[in-house]
Structure 1
Amino acid sequence: MATGYYLQDNPNPNAGQYGWPRNRVSGVVGIHTAENNTCFNGPDPGDADVARFIAGRSDFGSYHVLVDADSVTPLVHPSWAAWADTTNNAHAMSVSAAVAANDWLAMEETRRRQVVINMAAAAAELVQTAVRDGLLDSPTPARRITPAEAIAGSRAGFYGHGETNPSTRYDPGKDFDWNLFLTTYAGYIGGGIATVGDITPERPLLIPGVAGLYL
């Protein structure tokens, strides 16, 4: 019977992309970009393309949910760990956009905003599922947390992948609209915004050494 979660319904035969069944999660949610080729106009195939890539890749890297400009693809139920961030896979959840972090400002504004809004909607659905299924007591607050808190799972909230892995990762990038994300997410969960904006000094947007997808 289909679960509605892409990676569970299409298990990777080369490298399992989820595991470690969990009875509880911390409420920490990582925000990522998949670093695929950004689609700048027309129907967006990004989340479908990245989902297929993850389902066949021979190394490890996945998320709980993936979005693009016009769709959302749940990949893994939050009761399973996804391989999104080596620092906190055991307790965290993850949301990724099928774009490259360098491309936020190269996108037309309406399309860029829609990707971020879809990320917020996906994050709300993810944490509400965790609450419904007894993994969390209440939805993750609409706030940024520090890298230390994200790694330890000591405070529920949102962080960027590059904040916990600054030497190798930079997503979702310096141009990611945290204000829009948190404001929209707060509206979906019916809660206020505890913190908006950066909580660490802005880091330069690093350019990956190898072109193409990375997770």
Structure 2
Amino acid sequence: MATGYYLQDNPNPHAAQFGWPRTRVSGVIGVHTAENNTCFNGPDNGDLSVGEFVTGRRDFGSYHSAADVDSWRRWVHPGYSAWADTTNNAHAMSVSATVRANDWLALKEDRRRAVVVNLAEAAADLALVAVRDGLLDRVPPAQRISKAEAIAGTRMGFYGHGETNPGTRYDPGKDFDWTLFLNSYNTFVGGGIVPVGTITPERPLLIPGVAGLYI
């Protein structure tokens, strides 16, 4: 039976890209870029094409959700670990934009905004599902946290991958719009809708009339 989570429904036969049911989710959410080829024009299927790459790769690297210009996609349920950051895979959640971290300002403004807002919706979905399924008692606030807090899981909030792995990682990049991301996330977890891009079957909608819950 399909779970609705791409990597769980399409398991990698070479290197499992998620692991073990976990009872502790810290409310730490890492923000990443997938470092695939950025789509600068036309329809963007990055969340699917990167997912297809992950289902066949022979090393480890995955996220809980991924977002592109047009949509976002659930990859791994927050009750399982994904292989996004070696410092905190056991307790953290992760979202990734399917762009290169150095390409934010090379994207047209409307496309750049769409990716960031879709990424924020993916993060809100993770948080709301974690609360719904008893992994968290409240949604993480729209705030940045320190490297130490991100690694230890002692405070809920968001960090960039490059902050926990300086020297080897730099995503989501110096030009990532944290203000737009956090404001959009805050709107989504409050039950609001930030209209952007095209609604697709891979981009779940808020359930009307049910505060903050997703299908």
Q: Shorter-chain TM-score category?
A: 0.7 to 0.9
CA deviations over 1:125-172 (Å, ceiling 9, x no partner): 110000000000000100000000000000000000000000100000
- Match of residue 158 from structure 2: 158
- Match of residue 179 from structure 2: 179
- Match of residue 56 from structure 1: 56
When normalised by structure 1's length, the TM-score is 0.88
Which residue identity does 1:171 align to in structure 2? D
The gaps in structure 2 that reach 5 residues or longer are 192-215
Q: How does 1:58-207 map to 2 (within 5 A)?
A: 58-190=58-190
Contact kept, 8 Å, 1:32 with 1:95, in 2: the verdict is: yes
When normalised by structure 2's length, the TM-score is 0.88
- Hey, what's the Cα distance between the residues in 1 that align with 2:19 and 2:185? 27
The gaps in structure 1 that reach 5 residues or longer are 192-215
- Hey, what's the Cα distance between the residues in 1 that align with 2:134 and 2:45? 33
**1:73, distance to aligned residue in structure 2 (A):** 1.1
SS of structure 2 residue aligned to 1:61: coil
- Hey, what's the Cα distance between the residues in 1 that align with 2:180 and 2:59? 33
Which residue identity does 2:53 align to in structure 1? F
- Match of residue 42 from structure 2: 42
- Hey, what's the Cα distance between the residues in 2 that align with 1:11 and 1:31? 23
Contact kept, 8 Å, 1:5 with 1:77, in 2: the verdict is: yes
- Match of residue 6 from structure 1: 6
Give aligned pairs, total: 191
SS of structure 2 residue aligned to 1:50: helix
Identity %: 72
CA deviations over 1:56-76 (Å, ceiling 9, x no partner): 000000000011000111100
- Hey, what's the Cα distance between the residues in 1 that align with 2:176 and 2:100? 11
- Hey, what's the Cα distance between the residues in 1 that align with 2:90 and 2:58? 21
Which residue identity does 1:55 align to in structure 2? T
CA deviations over 1:22-65 (Å, ceiling 9, x no partner): 12200000000000000001100211110000000000000000
- Match of residue 206 from structure 1: none
- Match of residue 195 from structure 1: none
SS of structure 2 residue aligned to 1:56: coil
- Match of residue 29 from structure 1: 29
Q: RMSD across aligned C-alpha pairs, in angstroms?
A: 0.8
- Hey, what's the Cα distance between the residues in 2 that align with 1:46 and 1:6? 13
Contact kept, 8 Å, 1:20 with 1:90, in 2: the verdict is: no
Contact kept, 8 Å, 1:24 with 1:134, in 2: the verdict is: no
- Hey, what's the Cα distance between the residues in 1 that align with 2:140 and 2:56? 31
**1:20, distance to aligned residue in structure 2 (A):** 2.4
Which residue identity does 1:78 align to in structure 2? P
- Match of residue 207 from structure 1: none
- Hey, what's the Cα distance between the residues in 2 that align with 1:170 and 1:52? 24
